Amino acid sequence: MESRRERSFEFELPIGYVDADGRLHKKAALRKMTGRDEAVIADKSNRNNGARLITELLSNCLVRLGTLERPQKPVVQALFSADRHFLLMKLREITFGAEMQATYACPTCREANVVMEDLSALEVRRLEDGETPKDVVVELEDGYPDRNGTVYDTMVFRYPVGTDEEKVAGMIRENASSGKNALMARCLKELGDMAPARREALGTAIFNDLTLSDRARIDKALNEGGPGVSMRREINCNGCGRKFTTTLDMSNFLAPS
């Protein structure tokens, strides 16, 4: 009789999870998705909240996290988004294989470019051993002007975690820009020397009043160069020959290769 085949696989997280005792857990073991997980994917409440779906899948399929056996949902929600998205990529890879068909529409000629992506080849940026994620400091060009005419031109952000993603998922589904504002507001730790209570009271209004160039600066600072899987893709259009930059198409993420 053939011995039982391996159904769990170990990976090193880009950042890692720090528990209540200050211990860092960077090794994660995942098992392949099963029919029970397919039911989780099909659940309407999960389909309406992509971040909650990630939490449910990882809670089911995460066998071990460092020395933590069968980590529960609160741990998965506390993981940095970079680690959650990395694990989701690996979950797809071990279950269906690394190849995934993706389609990218050229912004110039609208040609649909079909690409067979290799998920195992995506760049992964990891923190060094013992290194902890640093806050992201963004120097604004135009700044945030308050009603008194004071301009605040420095923002400090923490990296988002699963709980942040779940809280803003509904807003992102309704309006991507408003959802992005809500996520940034949750992760904003400092706005110049503005008092924390005042900053929190302003909430998303801060980001509504920023210029688009400053919003682009924030996007670049939070999404480029930090730890995690690089989702940036450069595509050569088969129709017009132009090269364009986009993000990884995930529409076939849960479809077998």
Cα(4)–Cα(200) distance, integer angstroms:
54
User: Given this model, what pLDDT does residue 202 score?
Assistant: 95
pTM of the model: 0.89
CA distances from 254 to 11, 13, 98, 117, 178 (A): 20, 21, 12, 14, 27
Kindly report the number of other CB atoms within 10 A of residue 246's CB atom. Answer: 16
What 3-state DSSP class applies to 18?
strand
What size, in residues, is the chain?
257
pLDDT tens-place string over residues 114-167: 999 999 999 999 998 878 888 999 999 999 999 989 999 999 999 999 999 999
Pairing mode, strands 99-105 and 232-236: unpaired
The amino acid sitting at 127 is L
User: Given this model, what pLDDT does residue 5 score?
Assistant: 58
Provide the angle, in degrees to the nearest 10, between the axes of the packed helices 35-42 and 50-61.
160
Task: Find tokens 């050569």 and name the residue.
Answer: 236
Please list the residues that pair with 154 across neighbouring strands: 139
User: Given this model, what pLDDT does residue 50 score?
Assistant: 85
- Report the candidate in 27, 31, 30 with the shortest Cα–Cα distance to residue 66: 27
Kindly report the number of other CB atoms within 10 A of residue 147's CB atom. Answer: 5
User: Given this model, what pLDDT does residue 131 score?
Assistant: 81
Longest Cα–Cα distance of the chain, Å, equals: 78
What 3-state DSSP class applies to 41?
helix
Do the Cβ atoms of 236 and 84 come closer than 8 Å? Answer: no
Do the Cβ atoms of 26 and 131 come closer than 8 Å? Answer: no
Kindly report the number of other CB atoms within 10 A of residue 167's CB atom. Answer: 16
228: left (phi over 0), alpha (psi -120 to 50) or beta: left
User: Given this model, what pLDDT does residue 6 score?
Assistant: 58
3-state SS, one letter per residue, for 183-195: HHHHHEEEECCCC
Do the Cβ atoms of 75 and 68 come closer than 8 Å? Answer: yes
Taking 50 as the pLDDT cut, the residues of the chain under it are 1-3
